Amino acid sequence: MARIGLKQGVLAAVAGMLVASAAQAGGLERSGYNIDLLFDPSDYAAEATATYVNPQRELKNVRDTNPANTDPLAPSFGGGNLNYRPNSVDDTEGYWAPRIGMKAALGDSIDCMADYSQPWGAHTNPGKNWAGANNNIETKVESDNYAATCSYKWEAGPGVVRIIGGVFYQEVSGFKERLVQDFGPASPLGVGRLELEDSGWGWRAGVAYEIPEYAMRASLVYNSAVDLDNLAGFIDLRGLGLTKYDVHGSASMPDSLELKVQSGIAPGWLAFGSVKWTDWSQLQVLDFVPNEPGPFKFPTSLDLLYRDGWTVTGGIGHKFTDQWSGAVSLTWDRGTSHGYGTQTDTWLLGTGVSYTPTEHVEIRLAGSVGILTSGSSGEVTYKGRVIGDDVSYDFGNDFVGAISTSLKVRF
């Protein structure tokens, strides 16, 4: 069985690689939640990570399926007949996912960490000149998460048990623009914008068992939902010569449950795996209504129709020298879209290396390449409501790549 000598280098390579792989999960997930720094054996540690993800989703065979609605004053704006515009378009934008954390041991039994991350986000930007502009011109969601997590540990058999608990404060904001009325592809008019923001609190709880001698660890951690009960903002229709008015609604960022397991399997070798469930199905149709009634003030909705997300990862790590370690993994993420939207299954092959020039410093570089699987989007019915009747399209197997770099310092 592998001894403690493999632990830091191999696990560093694994951690960096998994960050790169996890950054292209379903729903609105970017980096999700990560508390691995809590398990660092040093009394004090600080870590900074930056991950860049480049999904290349292309929409094809786009068709405006609501060409008859040309009334700019109708509550259900349609934008006009856009089928004269291009029927293929690049949909996604690349993005950065940063993370900063600090860990401290408080005596022999308590470890605590504080971290900042951006767990949720999305950015599609097909632009105005395509046949589906009445559905989307640009959509962007951003988040900021500030967390504190602690664990209490005690010896049990050959290892130690940890009880884990923490809280986090989350800020979420975003906007969506779409074509409300067609005044021509080059016209700056005719665009409507919905913009929203809110914040809320969440908590986490979990348990872990470790046998440091063999680099063995199993952890199960639950992260609560974050209720955005005062999700508020505005709808801007001044591009049609109408008005800008305040709206409100509610939503919840999802809860999740993740099981992680790792163990030394031979001298210098480590096997690892994880299974994560994320409750994206609570984000279906988000309705927003005007704060006050008035002429040309209409309700609207964000139609997501997500199903629950599942992410499964397995891999192997190896320590080459006292300074160099590496790892490779395969990740499957079940798509959260099913008939409406572009989030089909994703397969990712990840690899990472760790360089430890001294016992106090780790430098990691990791990357992943993968496939966004093919599918189509069109009209579906949800609780008697017709969703997606404005545009239909197909998409093939598209490329996604990610690269992550990080620096950890121990004291």
Strands (E), 157-225: 159-179, 191-211, 216-223
The pLDDT score that the predictor gives to residue 67 is 78
Q: Return the number of other C-beta atoms located less than 10 Å from residue 393's C-beta.
A: 25
What would you measure as the largest C-alpha separation in the chain, in angstroms?
73
Compute the distance between CA of residue 383 and CA of residue 216 in angstroms, rounded to an integer: 47
Strands (E) in 224-345, as ranges, are: 226-236, 244-253, 256-266, 269-278, 285-290, 300-303, 309-319, 324-333
Q: Kindly report the number of other CB atoms within 10 A of residue 336's CB atom.
A: 26
Q: Is 277 exposed, middle or buried (0-12, 13-18, 19+ CB in 10 A)?
A: middle
Query: pLDDT at position 23, please?
Result: 61
Is residue 392 within 8 A of residue 378, CB to CB? The reply is yes
pLDDT exceeding 90 applies to what percent of the chain? 83
Per-residue pLDDT, 294? 87
**349: enclosing H helix or E strand:** strand 346-358
Residue 88 main-chain phi, psi, to 5 deg: -145, 150
SS (H, E, C) 308-327: CEEEEEEEEEEECCCCEEEE
pLDDT of residue 183: 86
**Beta bridge pairs of residue 316:** 271, 328
CB count in 10 Å sphere of residue 16: 29
Q: What is the pLDDT of residue 4?
A: 44
State residue 187's pLDDT score: 85
Nearest-angstrom CA–CA distance, 310 and 330: 14
Rg, C-alpha atoms of the chain: 23
**CA nearest neighbour of 87 among 124, 57, 62:** 62
The CA distance from 25 to 333, in Å, is 6
Supply the pLDDT for residue 74.
Answer: 43
Helix (H) or strand (E) holding 348: strand 346-358
Q: Is the dihedral of CA 163, 164, 166, 172 positive or negative?
A: negative
Tokens of 291: 């704060």
| pTM, rounded to two decimals | 0.93
Beta carbons of 48 and 18 less than 8 angstroms apart: no
| CB-facing half-sphere around the CA of 360: CA atoms within 13 A | 2
| Residues in the chain where the model's pLDDT stays below 50 | 1-5, 70-76
Closest C-alpha to 218, from 157, 275, 165, 150 = 275
Q: Dump the DSSP string for 65-122.
A: S-TT---TTSSS--B---TTS-S-EE-B--EEEEEEEEEEEETTTEEEEEEEE--B-E
Q: Enter the tokens of residue 357.
A: 């020039």
Task: Give the span between the Cα atoms of 61 and 87, in whole angstroms.
Answer: 5
